[in-house]
Amino acid sequence: MQRSTERFSDKADVTALMGAFCFFLSAIEYMLPKPMPFMRLGIANLPILLAVDILPFRWFLVLAAVKVIGMSLISGTLFSYVALFSLAGTMAAALVMWGARRAGGRFISQIGVSIAGAIVSNAVQILIARYLVFRETAWLIAPLFLGMGLATGAALGVFAESFASTSLWYARAAGLPDPAPTEGGTDAAGRRRGIFARLASAAAEGKARRAARKAARDESRKPRLEKAAAARTARRARAERLFAPGPLALAGMVVTVAFLFQPNVLLKGAMLIVFILAARAVGKRYSLVTTLSVSLGIILANLIVPSGKILGTILGMRITQGALIEGIEKALTFEGLMMLSKASIAPGLKLPGRIGRIVAASFVYYDRIVEYKGRIKAASLGRDADDLMLRVWGSADTASAETANAGTASASAAPEAMTEASAAPEARAQNASLRSRGSAILVVASVAAWALTLLPRLI
């Protein structure tokens, strides 16, 4: 325990742990239904909210950057507009939360800090959506989006304030005395915790009922789902043998630039189909329904503001040529970047520099969070979450070493290196041959993408 307590002075290690919780909450948030791909409830900002009183400003910004990079790697959206929305929203929220806390001091609660950050984050994302995706129609979804920010910001603020007052891990990270055990409900904070626990319990019960109904529906589809999962796993394994994560990501960046400069709508649509096939080939999930619904939503949003020649009317809406073409281009760009990012971001990708090492350390902590065997109940959410943080923090000394040592390989790369070192010469030669073939495929794909981009300009 002494060793774990001393590590709180290592802000890089604290940042890595809180980044891991950002990843974990981002993964949960990614699975929740949402009207648009970039719209989030904001629960992944909870560790950033808690870090306002724990980390110095420099490390606070590092945590925000680690959150954006990590969640983009987990969701496979590093080269897409989603990553841009996340970066702008997260950084804006982080700066506002830090400024509000420092300006208001203890006179502004974490509830107010959270609401300010959530509203600013959503406002920035709406502003970006105005120019990249939806045009003036973005102002129509602004009230809903800002209302979501107000509601989720308030809920996260209530939990953060309760957690900060009772968490042993938080007190030690902030350099405060250990909190005294309290009986819930004896004071105002206790009543707030009780209300939050009851609301969380009711939500958990509803979620459990919905999960039971879904499980019953999925039971009949279980053989088909298992077969599809096995096929994806096999495709992913073949892709990992064929492509190294670094060259694959580099090729993805080269093709991304070519795709963004593609002037022809038909060729851009053809490239989108290739990206979908590539994402499927490397074992990534793909939903045709989601792609079509999101694309249709972007096109309809652009049609709301007329532009150019009137082509006709549908249900009283004027279909104009300029708005239709612009909507199709934006839909193809949005989905194309999403699919290309899924295809080119592979497990084991290591980023350079200090932030890269902290991201790697955060993934070590993230693995330990996922492997946690304890139960987290809605009625005792704060206490159970604190116990999880203490256990992960106390048992993950390898993550501290990961952060401190420059150039240290990630946890997943170490077993791979040992395996390659002990493999037979024939196996090593086969692996080298596969990687050479994979590199050739990436070069051909990059050249082909730029050829398709330059072709319309030369004709």
| pLDDT tens string 430-445 | 778 888 898 999 999 9
Cβ neighbours of residue 135 closer than 8 Å, sequence gap 6 or more: 301, 302, 305, 323, 326
Q: What is the rounded distance in angstroms from the CA atom of residue 387 to the CA atom of residue 32? A: 25
- What are the distances in angstroms from CA 99 to CA 35, 48, 71, 105, 251? 31, 13, 24, 10, 39
Tell me which residue of 336, 250, 238, 251 sits closest to 281, measured CA to CA. 238
Confidence at residue 186, expressed as pLDDT on a 0 to 100 scale: 46
Q: Judge contact between 360 and 400, C-beta under 8 A.
A: no
Q: Answer whether residue 251 shows pLDDT above 70.
A: yes
Over the chain, what is the mean pLDDT?
A: 78
Q: Judge contact between 396 and 368, C-beta under 8 A.
A: yes
Highest mean pLDDT among 74-88, 232-246, 304-318, 363-377: 232-246
Q: Answer whether residue 422 shows pLDDT above 70.
A: no
- What are the distances in angstroms from CA 251 to CA 80, 271, 386, 443, 444? 15, 15, 42, 7, 10
User: Torsion angle, CA of 297/298/299/304, rounded to 10 degrees?
Assistant: 90
- Residue 203's pLDDT band, with cuts at 50, 70 and 90, is low
- What are the distances in angstroms from CA 261 to CA 215, 267, 455, 457? 45, 11, 12, 11
Q: What is the rounded distance in angstroms from the CA atom of residue 297 to the CA atom of residue 112? A: 33
Q: What is the rounded distance in angstroms from the CA atom of residue 154 to the CA atom of residue 323? A: 38
Q: What is the rounded distance in angstroms from the CA atom of residue 423 to the CA atom of residue 428? A: 6
Q: Answer whether residue 95 shows pLDDT above 90.
A: yes
Confidence at residue 406, expressed as pLDDT on a 0 to 100 scale: 39
- Residue 269's pLDDT band, with cuts at 50, 70 and 90, is very high
SS3 state at 345: coil
Pinpoint the alpha helices (H) of 178-314.
188-242, 245-260, 265-281, 288-303
Q: Which residues pair with 320 in a beta bridge?
A: 310
Pick from 332-336, 368-372, 434-438: least confident = 368-372
Q: Tokens at residue 16, please?
A: 């890595």
Between these two residues, 132 and 103, which has the higher pLDDT value? 103
Q: Judge contact between 399 and 21, C-beta under 8 A.
A: no
Strands 310-314 and 317-320: antiparallel
For the purposes of burial, counting CB atoms within 10 Å of the CB of 208, is it exposed (0-12), middle (13-18) or buried (19 or more)?
Answer: exposed
Q: What is the rounded distance in angstroms from the CA atom of residue 189 to the CA atom of residue 159? A: 11
Chain centre distance of CA 243: 23
User: Torsion angle, CA of 155/156/159/162, rounded to 10 degrees?
Assistant: -110
The residue count of the chain comes to 459
SS3 state at 391: helix
Q: Tokens at residue 256, please?
A: 């991304």
SS3 state at 321: helix
Handedness of CA 286, 290, 296, 299 (dihedral sign): negative
